[in-house]
Structure 1
Amino acid sequence: MAFLLCLGLLLADLVTPFVGAASPKSWSSMPNRCAAGSNCVVPAEEHWLLDWSPPELASLTIRGKLEWDRGIDDLQLTAGYVLVEGKGTLEIGTESQPMSNLATINLTDAQASPHPTLGSRFLAGQDKAQILMHGRPLGTWTLLARDVAQGESEMELKEDPRALSWRIGDVIGIATTNRGRTQPYKIVDLGPAGSKTVKIDPPAAADYWGGWRPIHHASGRSSSPIKCRLYVN
């Protein structure tokens, strides 16, 4: 019984979350806390809210908690590296409150010197740290409902892009029908509500097959063709 009790205490210690101030400090209200090019530290027991895009840092070490503001779009954190250590927490959305806006972490070569064990340009956690990232629920792929010709800017999908949580500004790729590299396209418009169309930029760089297509194949046993339909994307 004593052994089980000790084991229970050990496990509880391993998963102890960050404990600190209930209300986070707004980082934008203390812009001089971490100057450009500095080695910035979120101290243990402190809870910061990332509600602005701070200047480029040499490094950011999180020993307390850094929470990304879910209500602001296109915030950017730029640093040579980001290290979460001790019982620190980096939170970019939670399972119950996912991040629905664009959040970007840029890792540069700005650090004065590499970390002694982890090197350069990394996002990492060590010790009992937590890195929590939960984005919006997203359908990551679908099929083309019809062919898309080279030069076309509108394509029809098999599913409603809104039901997939696709948005204007998202970047998608279209699988090539022939050999070649998949090119990224930006969604610049969604069709009317209830439609399944999106507009892309740049226009399609090649022809893409979509929808049902009859395939004729001569059987080895007879000269009669076999007709089938293939849904291609």
Structure 2
Amino acid sequence: MAVFDSGVGGISVLRHLRRLMPGERYLYFGDSANAPYGTKTRDEVESLTFAAVGRLMARGVKALVVACNTATSAAIQDLREAYPDTIVIGIEPALKLAYDRYHGGGIGVMATPMTLREEKFEALMHRYDRSCRVYKIPAPGLVELVERGQGDSKEAESLLRALFAPYQGRLDAVVLGCTHYPFAAKAISRVLGSGVALLDGGDGTARETRRRLAEAGLLENGAGEVILTNSLPEGSILELSRKLLEE
């Protein structure tokens, strides 16, 4: 199956997929040459997404996991219409999980500016914000740090301290609404403390993928394989990808 992201962030989802379905063959493509997607327009993101997905579909994949919140927001419905014979799974912020666990509490949603602007996210947020205090928290610059392998760096921690300063004492949980952000989870926890839970949609996406594959009779129980590819030509990005996969 194919797994697509704007860069290395989707590897956080690939890890969940591989743990849940180790016998599958995975083809991962990260579009790091065009990262971050979250600061682009919807049309730009949709165009980049279709270009990348077209190359993956040409490989004859049985399923596509769009492991990018921004690309899911911008293009998931159009992708499903364009490829009706392929299982197409998107990822959403784990807001329902946060609501179920922290009903009535304070929930921060970290996401890219474009994800937070989208009607799809607004509808999701307003479904739950009547009984929770939901704070939209854009995190400009964090994706770029993760793309450089610096998600757990002092620079990331400094950025996060400034980002969360207005919300100290208000949060029970933070939803990591971008697949890059789990790779900054250690730094986020240092800033917020162990009393604030961090939730991401990777596990739920993997479980939904397995359910859909099982329903279609397409689950594979082979030796398992992961092929990592990226739009950047530098070997260093694949080295980082392998490192993140094995963390």
TM-score, normalised relative to structure 2 = 0.24
Higher fraction of strand: 1
Structure with bigger RCO (C-alpha 8 Å, 6+ apart):
2
TM-score scaled to structure 1, two decimals? 0.25
Which has the higher Rg, Structure 1 or Structure 2? Answer: 1
When you count helix as a share of all residues, which structure comes out higher?
Answer: 2
